[in-house]
Amino acid sequence: MKKTKKHWLDMGLKILGASGEKKLTIDYLCKNLQVTKGSFYHHFSSRKIYIYEMLKYWSQKYTDEIIEVISELNSTTQKAHELINKILVMPQKAEIAIRIWAAQNEEVLHFQQQVDEARMTFLQKHLFNITKDRKRSQQDARVVYTCYIGCQHVLPNITQYEYIDILNHLLTIVGLPPYDEKEVTK
């Protein structure tokens, strides 16, 4: 089967999450996709371009697209619950690896900071619709996002249901009804 650019980008995030950025070599990508280097160079002119494209893809797929989908929903509760659905299926290990990598690489840090800013702005905007208080919505957005990042690092082996319990506690703090575990999408 011919590999598309998306195959390459998804594989990069998978490798990144499983083995870290040092394994993001052209050879290792080709081995995992069972293709030749020519296939890589068909889509990307260099590893540096590939890394840029992969980070851009990560940002778009796991931030921009999610924000777009959730923004189209009507109720604040629907938005919060759909956000949880999206969080539960995100590649958390890749998110962790990107943060670790960002501590050592300015370009990766730039992507990570842009993603953090977009996510926090989104949360703050939607929490403001609940509280009608800018300062509180900003504080609540920081608490919610910090909890999300903290769970990735401090509780990496947490079960999905334990994570939902934490998220439900956060929902009650910001004044929303809890998420029903039956809503989990695979």
Mean pLDDT of residues grouped by 10 in the chain (186 residues)?
A: 93 97 97 95 96 97 95 90 88 93 96 96 91 92 90 84 89 86 57
The reported pTM is: 0.88
Q: What is the pLDDT of residue 186?
A: 45
CB 161 within 8 A of CB 181: yes
Q: What is the pLDDT of residue 183?
A: 56
Dihedral in degrees, nearest 10, Cα atoms 118, 124, 129, 134: -140
Extents of the domains making up the chain = 55-183
CB 17 within 8 A of CB 91: yes
Q: What is the pLDDT of residue 8?
A: 97
Q: What is the pLDDT of residue 112?
A: 96
Q: How far apart are CA 150 and CA 89, in angstroms?
A: 17
Distances in whole angstroms, Cα of residue 49 to Cα of each of 46, 52, 77, 99, 101? 5, 5, 40, 19, 17
Q: What is the pLDDT of residue 21?
A: 96
CATH T-level assignment (fold) for domain 55-183:
Tetracycline Repressor; domain 2 (1.10.357)
